[in-house]
Chains A and B, each alone.
Chain A
């Protein structure tokens, strides 16, 4: 018989994300992992600007709402002065990969012992669905109304692949929230990332493919199908850099 799942202690109230959004699942998984690793009273979040900001209304933990794109730099400062605390930056794709690409990349470049969770919904969600650096070729957004033309805007950025290939980091993965099996797998990725930090192995990043039915103009189910049928072809899920000895 299925066990009723216990709500992690640090979750204070329900989230205010749109119906069908993946952020709620992501935050729940992070909270579960922290509790299971005994770190839920040893955690500081750097929160991004955008839909990721809403984490601040869900979790009762130390958390700082960072300037747009700067969470990795803020988390660097936090972790350097408080290495005994677990430090997570929680950001969206626009925050981490567009305005914050420099801070995000340089934290990985330095192999900072922090965990970066980026929720990739292929657009700027909070501001109403503008094109971001992860928007797919041909995808319609409010700033690419005829569909993204990668010949003039650049192609979708694959941050986990970049980091795994170019930098000396501890752990890199990309997961999805579109089925219970994938959610369980994603939880394993997040746990690996946090364990890497706990053990002082270095930088870890987990990108989460997340549906944005509101801005994609779809039902939640259609949005899940879009991820499974289209988005994973551009952004494959899996581990790109495994922890040493794991």
Chain B
């Protein structure tokens, strides 16, 4: 039965039920309720909760838990996620499975407390030093966030990589009806440390970066081939296709419905995986489409880059790609509709 629950609490409870048994983190708005909830909930299930002295320590405690094969995770926002980057690239490099929850807030530097999507490019390009990519999942609702927490842990285990749940401040703070999953049986990854050196590893001075590069590309290609997820509607018949994720994606879906009711031939793609980017969806797009439009909660337009690259790769045509970056917040359906008209009327120019 669906119950009203706050987004951050739902994510926390879902992680417990999907077998997470170590959480370490540091308070920061708008993600703090996750650690508050886990501070009492994790001990109830015999798991580890540590309020770390810093974001750096928190992510490194996650590394310790993950190295022992235990489902481990952390959450943060804004500059907190920036601080975790050295740990995230280390998790990837050591092929440790872990989940990072980014409750995105707006701004550079210390930033603000507004809900936003300004971390898109950082999350989808790895974020820390090196060449890696993390799996990035972006929910539009609390129910979807709960389901994606489970998927994040499963994919992290399957590919021995980092999975990021890229949610948004508003989604963390708001309440919605949500059905929580059943408890799964917790078990340790077979490659986790047991003190007996059961799982042999290549010594740090015996590594072969050329071979590892081949394996890394194979891993990335497997994830791209198997794990693209999205929602779409009316792509085959559309003059204009909207692309948006998360809460702005949900708003865009509403705007698309209204525009269709008013006789406009529009469709949408809502990426659920931001990386791997859902390129497959673009194969369904009307080859005579007049343009693609991203709706984003950031200042400069970030998603538009992936859309333009995918149009080039999949549609092989010079189709205009527009961006509607609303800086922060969740754009109203009427705002999206009004800006759509401006695009059709040539008042807003394409980005690519």
Contacts and interface: CB of A to CB of B under 8 A. Distances in A.
* A, B assembled together: yes
Contacts of B62: 77
A81 B68 contact: yes
Interface string B65-77: 1111010100000
Q: Which of A62, A76, A79 has the most CB of B within 10 A?
A: A62
A103 B53 contact: yes
Contacts of B66: 77
A43 interface: yes
Interface stretch (B86-94, B227-235, B296-304): B86-94
Interface in B1-39: 21-22, 24
B50 A80 contact: yes
A77 B204 contact: no
Nearest to A69: B56
A155 interface: no
B65 A81 contact: yes
Contacts of A109: 53
A126 to B, nearest CB: 12
B64 A74 contact: yes
A61 B196 CA distance: 7
A78 B67 contact: yes
Contacts of B94: 64
Contacts of B54: 102-103
Contacts of A85: 68, 193-195
Contacts of A65: 204
Contact of A64 (B24, B52, B63): B63
Question: On chain B, which size bracket covers the interface?
Answer: 35 or more
Contact of B196 (A41, A76, A79): A41
A80 B197 contact: no
A56 B202 CA distance: 10
B60 interface: yes
B65 A78 contact: yes
B194 A62 contact: yes
Given A67-B86, A77-B24, A62 B193 contact: yes
A144 interface: no
A42 interface: yes
B342 to A, nearest CB: 48
Given A64-B94, A77-B62, A41 B195 contact: yes
Contacts of B22: 77, 80-81
B86 to A, nearest CB: 5
B56 A103 contact: yes
B134 interface: no
Contacts of A56: 203-205
A85 B72 CA distance: 18
B195 A80 contact: no
Nearest to B196: A41
B195 A81 contact: no
A130 to B, nearest CB: 20
A102 B60 CA distance: 12
B48 interface: yes
A129 to B, nearest CB: 21
Given A44-B193, A44-B195, A77-B22, A67 B90 contact: yes
Given A102-B56, A103-B60, A76 B50 contact: yes
Contacts of B90: 67
A73 interface: yes
Interface of A: 41-44, 46, 53-54, 56-57, 60-62, 64-67, 70, 73-82, 84-86, 102-103, 106, 109
13 contacts: A56-B204, A62-B194, A62-B195, A62-B197, A64-B64, A64-B67, A66-B60, A73-B64, A76-B57, A77-B62, A81-B68, A84-B195, A103-B54
A-B CB proximity, top 9 nearest: A77-B64, A73-B60, A77-B61, A85-B195, A62-B193, A78-B64, A106-B53, A70-B60, A73-B57
